[in-house]
Amino acid sequence: MTWHVQAVEGEGSLYRPVSPILTVHTDLDCEKGIQRARINWKKTKPPLPLYPYRVVGIDSHRTCGVTALSGTLLTADWSPVSGGKVAVWNDYGWSHISEPSVAGFWEVFLSDRPKKGTWYAQVVENGQAVSSVVKVITDDDCRRGPQRIQIDWQRLPTVPASTTYPYEVTDVSSEKDCTRTEVWGTVVGENWEPVSGAQVRIWNDYDWSLTSEPSFIGRWNIYLYGKPREMVWHVQLLEGGRPASPVVLVVTSGDCTVGPQRVEINWKRKPRGPMPPEG
């Protein structure tokens, strides 16, 4: 028998499909075919919003004086942005918006002494978020953890509308790891089937680059260092040696108590349009 299987969500008689349809074949002859099939689904995150600002650098310093967040706001051609603002908040209802940036520089003062806390920072324009949220941690022991953290943002260059790629990013996530620096992820087709043979190119701003081994059952991996490494990386999917996706910019930290060392990037092939009519 041929079976068609699909995951659904809902209650009572109201269900909606939440996965592609999978086709499974079973056989009456247990020596020739299968009778039991196991299918596992994983709930995926929605695509990340595309903000006009991206992080291009995170650095931290220990100081027994003040605790503060600061950094620079830059245009697409690396010129300083004046008048930009950054919102900073914590998990306890405290929040503050920086004064307008001067020559690109912004700062939010947190304490006149070392202060422990988890802080969130985001570039804002006219009260609206224009960057992803950056999470950082400061310490009240200036011999152990950072008190001053610098976050630099750059406005993304405008991409011509004619620039299209067959693959799009479906998810980007990161985690801390004190043992390695690594970028990895998956590549799937239109119907979420694993794509083998795809490659990923990664490079930095210092003329270093590396191309991954071909993906196997949709998975790819680039091992960068055997310890935390602070760096801005540019990552792009290749198909037949040619760019097949927009460039993804990721930042890893040299301090595994502050920022990420492992970044996961997942790509999916965009649906192809309908075939043109014959004749």
Phi and psi based region of residue 92 (left: phi greater than 0; alpha: psi -120 to 50; beta: remaining) = alpha
53-155: which CATH architecture? Sandwich (2.60)
Kindly indicate the confidence band of residue 162, based on its pLDDT and cuts at 50, 70 and 90.
Answer: very low
Specify the pTM: 0.46
pLDDT in tens, 230-242: 888 889 999 888 8
> Does an H or E element contain 211, and which?
strand 209-211
Q: Which residues partner with 174 through β-bridges?
A: 263
Return the structure tokens found at 177.
Answer: 């790891």
Of 80, 141, 134, 97, the closest CA to residue 116 belongs to 141
Residue 260, pLDDT above cutoff 50 = yes
Of 175, 162, 265, 253, the closest CA to residue 212 belongs to 265
pLDDT in tens, 36-78: 888 888 776 555 556 889 888 888 899 998 999 999 999 887 8
Query: Where do the domains of the chain lie?
Result: 1-43, 53-155, 167-269
Q: What is the 3-state secondary structure (H, E, C) of 73-102?
A: EECCCCCECCCCEEEEECCCCCEEECCCCE
CATH number for the domain running over 167-269: 2.60.40.10
How far is it, in rounded angstroms, from Cα 70 to Cα 192?
Answer: 41
